[in-house]
Structure 1
Amino acid sequence: MNLVNNIIQTAKKVLKDEADAIARLADFIDESFKSCVESILQIKGRVVVTGVGKSANIATKIVATLNSTGTPALFMHAADAIHGDLGMIQPEDFVVCISKSGNTPEVKVLVPLLKRKGTRLAALVSNTDSYLAQHADFVLNAFVEREACPNNLAPTTSTTAALALGDALAVCLLEARGFSSSDFAVLHPGGSLGKRLYLKVDDIYGQNEAPCVNKSATLKEIIIEISSKRLGATAVVSDDSKDLIGIITDGDLRRMLNKYDSTEGIQALNIMTPSPLTIETDEYAVEALALMQERSITQLIVTKSGRYKGFVHLHDLLKEGLV
């Protein structure tokens, strides 16, 4: 039991320590951070993010975030840079170097080479008195008092802080560029995330039948239409203009049986739900999902400029991975 309690307490302490460290970073956002963002916005090249060890791992994630939010970026390992990879950096690029101490040997070799190329340099460091910070054009202060590791050795809190500061940098650039959800969709076409951003109702409803009866349809005609089209519902349209006037679901049929002693003479007009909830073909599929979840329903009538087109079903959205 003591071992279990110790595990739980240790895990909670790590999370609290790292959360507190990230919260304190807000106090370090200053004019240097602002100037760094403004400088990146002006470059014609890419943001090159570099580091050694665990900082290199954080750098790769920051590069991925920058690329996915509209800022072209690439990763360069600091050790590889001084053995040939420095050639990937062009004069119009901007370098962000991540290092907790700011004094690692690879960084000390790399910085003069970058300055010689005339490359703008930002230091993302915990030690603002370090060699890296003193020779950088901009300092992104990621100071942490200690690591979450009980020995204060394993990079834990420091890497989390660096990652969070990198996110702050990426989001500031995103907002400054006016990067929209549509832009995001262009860069994320794959997977459920991409589909949420680009898939429209028009892309999926056409694979279904379009059950439809007029308002004077008999009960038999209604049941046949619902059963044959296998969507659990049918649209009801006016006899003359074919305008959408209602919907009948299999639930409406069950309620009808409780309401009427005799089903003779019952028409669609008697049991339909008027003015049904609809969604336009040019709406995003995720909006259809939100409406279904909000109303606890499994299908929506699809319209185009108010005219009946068909149905989109919850199963369609499941199949596309939106749920």
Structure 2
Amino acid sequence: MDSENIIVKTALQTIDIEARTLRRLKKSIDDSFVQCVEAIYTSPGRLVVTGVGKSALIAQKIVATLNSTGTPAVFMHAADAIHGDLGMIRSADLVMCLSKSGETAEIKVLVPLVKYLGSKLIAMVGKKKSYLGTQADYLLHTPVAQEADPNNLAPTASTTAQAAMGDALATALLALRGFSPEDFAQFHPGGSLGKQMYLRVGDLYPRNEVPAVRETASLQEVILEMTAKCLGGTAVTGVNGQLLGIITDGDLRRMLEKSPRLDHLQAKDIMTAKPKTIEHDALAVKAMEILRRHSITQLIVLKDQQYVGMIHLHDLVKEGLV
């Protein structure tokens, strides 16, 4: 068999084995799972998640998911726990141990110590009748018929099952808490998803210049204002400062194509009346929607129906909203 066939066959076999593992995992969403979720939900303390080897890596991922969805959690490596890190556990905390076999030496040392501290123990384990499985107060069963590697040795299907069970746990808790998109944004202020929920036009447009010309401004004045303010456009205002229109690079190009004479042109002859606008307190993602819908690159910003500035597509790109 050539190398290409070996690669494809092994990869497909891996996916098939892990898919079967996940299908079997559905049977573990039972009364024991419900009790575990309710225990975490009602706990006055945190969830301390621990493990060794690859299970420790999955434990860290579960902690990250829980914290980002409203469930306070911390990671504790099982090997470090018995060398001082047990000090992070309080009696009100729940401790969740991840292990495929439930028989590792570190887990056997850790379990009695957790119980001595007065914390309840959750086992996420592949074997119910293992040491960890029988000692736990709550059980999350992650059975694995075989690992996905050809030697049935490397943690593959087992870690997939642990990760999926952790996601099931986190999303069930999220649903119980009524965790909203606004809550998600609060925990993700630096990410694009979070910014979509809290970043407003008013946070962006003040960074820009405020290009504006009177309706009687000459073509030269219009071009100078547009190039000086570097937003690809300028607002056109009336005698009382009211918004009359906008002139963009596109308006200038169209005017140059159709007008034989330029010396007599004024801003009011070039502008697009009734330009697209957005209120200063609107979400920035709303501005992006308008720009995309109308294939434009700048929006007039209004505050109390008065022109206060302009927001450009580049402002939104810089914030990662594209």
The TM tier, using the shorter chain, reads 0.7 to 0.9
Q: 1:12 and 1:81 mapped to 2: Cα distance?
A: 38
Give, in angstroms, the shift of residue 156 of structure 1.
0.9
Residue 119 of structure 1: aligned partner: 119
Give, in angstroms, the shift of residue 221 of structure 1.
2.9
Alignment of 1:160-199 (within 5 A): 160-190=160-190, 195-199=195-199
Give, in angstroms, the shift of residue 41 of structure 1.
1.5
Q: 1:75-102 CA deviation, whole Å, 9 max, x = no partner?
A: 1222333344333221110111111122
Q: 2:87 and 2:207 mapped to 1: Cα distance?
A: 52
Alignment RMSD (CA, Å): 2.6
Q: 1:286 and 1:297 mapped to 2: Cα distance?
A: 15
Q: 1:121-140 CA deviation, whole Å, 9 max, x = no partner?
A: 22112223333223322222
Q: 1:268-313 CA deviation, whole Å, 9 max, x = no partner?
A: 3343323322232223334433433443322222222332111122
Report whether the alignment pairs 1:309 with 2:300.
no
Residue 278 of structure 2: aligned partner: 279
Alignment of 1:193-232 (within 5 A): 195-232=195-232
Residue 90 of structure 1: aligned partner: 90
Q: 1:37 to 1:243 in 2, by over 3 A?
A: farther
Q: 1:9 to 1:298 in 2, by over 3 A?
A: farther
The unaligned stretches of length 5 or more in structure 2 are none
Q: 1:180-203 CA deviation, whole Å, 9 max, x = no partner?
A: 344334433446565555433222
Q: 1:270 to 1:40 in 2, by over 3 A?
A: same
The unaligned stretches of length 5 or more in structure 1 are none
Residue 51 of structure 1: aligned partner: 51
Describe the SS at the equivalent of 1:301: strand
Describe the SS at the equivalent of 1:213: strand
Give, in angstroms, the shift of residue 256 of structure 1.
2.2
Number of aligned positions between the proteins: 322
Q: 1:4 and 1:38 mapped to 2: Cα distance?
A: 49
Give, in angstroms, the shift of residue 264 of structure 1.
5.7
Length-normalised TM-score, structure 2: 0.88
Q: 2:295 and 2:6 mapped to 1: Cα distance?
A: 44
Residue 250 of structure 1: aligned partner: 249
Q: 1:205 and 1:255 mapped to 2: Cα distance?
A: 27
Give, in angstroms, the shift of residue 47 of structure 1.
0.3
Describe the SS at the equivalent of 1:74: strand
Q: 1:263 and 1:83 mapped to 2: Cα distance?
A: 82
Give, in angstroms, the shift of residue 109 of structure 1.
3.2
- State the identity %: 58
Length-normalised TM-score, structure 1: 0.87
Describe the SS at the equivalent of 2:55: helix
Give, in angstroms, the shift of residue 218 of structure 1.
3.5
